[in-house]
Structure 1
Amino acid sequence: MGTNYEKDVVAWANEQAALLRAQKFSALDIEHIAEEIESVGRSEQRDFANHLALLVANLLKWQYQCGRRSSARRRVIEELRRLLSIQLQMTPTLKNSLTDPHWETRVWADAIVQSVEEIGLALPETCPWTMQHVIDETFLPE
């Protein structure tokens, strides 16, 4: 094996790609390649969860800060929904996350952290909306 994964992951990745293209399978660092492939999936899930939590936080601010509703906040909500829609189109398996109770709990906890200080009120322990409502372009809480 050539480049050490721990010392220079970029050089290692380029080397592994070249070995794959050359079909030199016996020279591949299979374990690290598998780890990197798995990390791509985790990264997509993390990015999706972060966008979803940010959207929920903005919906909370919309609901609890009626006097601060603005076209700018609405644009942020619309943009986050657009990004989430693109992510769902590019990675359809992320849709499974929207009905996963564990996932919803994590997104809700992140949204609370992002919004509780600004809102300054006690917020519900669980999300008052389904994730399908959250991503629905027509939904805005009262």
Structure 2
Amino acid sequence: MRVKPHPQAPELTELYDTDIVAWANEQARLLRTGCLDRLDIEHLAEEFEDVGKSEQRELASRMTVLLTHLLRSRFQPERRGASWETTIRTQRAGIARRLRRTPSLARSLDDPDWWADAWDDALDAATRETGIADLPRNCLWAVGQVLDGDWLPSGKDPLPPSDRKE
């Protein structure tokens, strides 16, 4: 269904730029009262898209923190402590909650590009935090391991073939 914008739509666009909360409340009121012709369609579409992007950013952020701590745990097992394990548990729980609330996010976990970005971000963070410059370029673990609440990496986990030193 295509809705033609109402002549007052420019006022809503200005409201969007000056007070997004007031704009959102007005959009909700217009929806509830059936005044669809007065909606700020373009900005509504942007906001809907942003909700999805925000969820994806949250998942990526949590995964980066989780992978960073798993890397630290793998390469500095002697420094593993309660705070690292708490962070790992917290991030796993947050990821599980995200995936429960937004099941379509699980597709991200199967996307090699998304996974590579999360791994690269984790490598950057882990390198800064540990001072170890030669961390593996490729992920050491399967998604299932990373998300498994009972699993922690071992200092004996093998490196992928492309990351082994000759």
CA–CA separation in structure 1 for the residues paired with 2:142 and 2:57: 19
- 2:61 aligned partner: 50
- 2:135 aligned partner: 123
- 1:132 aligned partner: 144
What's the Cα RMSD here? Answer: 1.1
Q: SS state of the match for residue 18, structure 2?
A: coil
Q: Report which stretch shifted further, 68-77 or 47-56.
A: 68-77
CA–CA separation in structure 2 for the residues paired with 1:10 and 1:75: 36
Q: Report which stretch shifted further, 74-83 or 5-14.
A: 5-14
CA–CA separation in structure 2 for the residues paired with 1:91 and 1:24: 29
Tell me the TM-score normalized by structure 1: 0.95
Q: What stretches of structure 2 of length at least 5 have no aligned partner?
A: 1-8, 155-166
Q: 1:1-142, aligned counterparts within 5 Å? A: 1=9, 2-3=11-12, 4=14, 5-121=16-132, 122-142=134-154
The answer to whether the 8 Å contact 1:19/1:27 transfers is yes
CA–CA separation in structure 2 for the residues paired with 1:119 and 1:7: 44
CA deviations 1:4-62 (Å, max 9, x no partner) are 22222121111111101111000001111011001000000000100011000000010
Question: Where does structure 1 differ by over 4 angstroms across 4 or more consecutive aligned residues?
Answer: none
The answer to whether the 8 Å contact 1:104/1:131 transfers is no
Shift of 1:113: 1.7
Aligned length: 142
Q: What stretches of structure 1 of length at least 5 have no aligned partner?
A: none
Tell me the TM-score normalized by structure 2: 0.82
Identity of aligned residues (%): 42
Shift of 1:75: 1.4
Which of 1 and 2 has higher RCO (CA within 8 Å, sep 6+)?
Answer: 1
Q: Higher Cα Rg: structure 1 or 2?
A: 2
